[in-house]
């Protein structure tokens, strides 16, 4: 989240997802029990 956040501390979910994909290409939110990345964000 920190890597994708702007000056106000907000981050667009798509930007966070792109960073996660670049850093962990094997990551899938489904493996954590959530069909979409936004569902995982909401749960945390």
Instruction: Please check whether residue 35 is in contact with residue 43, taking contact to mean a CB–CB distance below 8 angstroms.
Output: no
> Which tens digit of pLDDT belongs to each residue from 1-44?
788 888 898 998 889 989 999 999 999 899 999 999 899 989 98
pLDDT of residue 2: 82
d(CA 7, CA 35): 30
Q: Count the domains in the chain.
A: 1
Range of the domain at 6: 2-43
Per 3-state DSSP, the chain is made up of helix, strand and coil in percentages (nearest 5) of: 55, 0, 45
């Amino acid at each position: 989240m920190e890597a994708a956040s702007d000056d106000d501390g907000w981050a667009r979910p798509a930007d966070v997802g792109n960073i996660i994909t670049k850093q962990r290409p094997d990551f899938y939110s489904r493996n954590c029990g959530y069909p979409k990345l936004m569902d995982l964000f909401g749960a945390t």
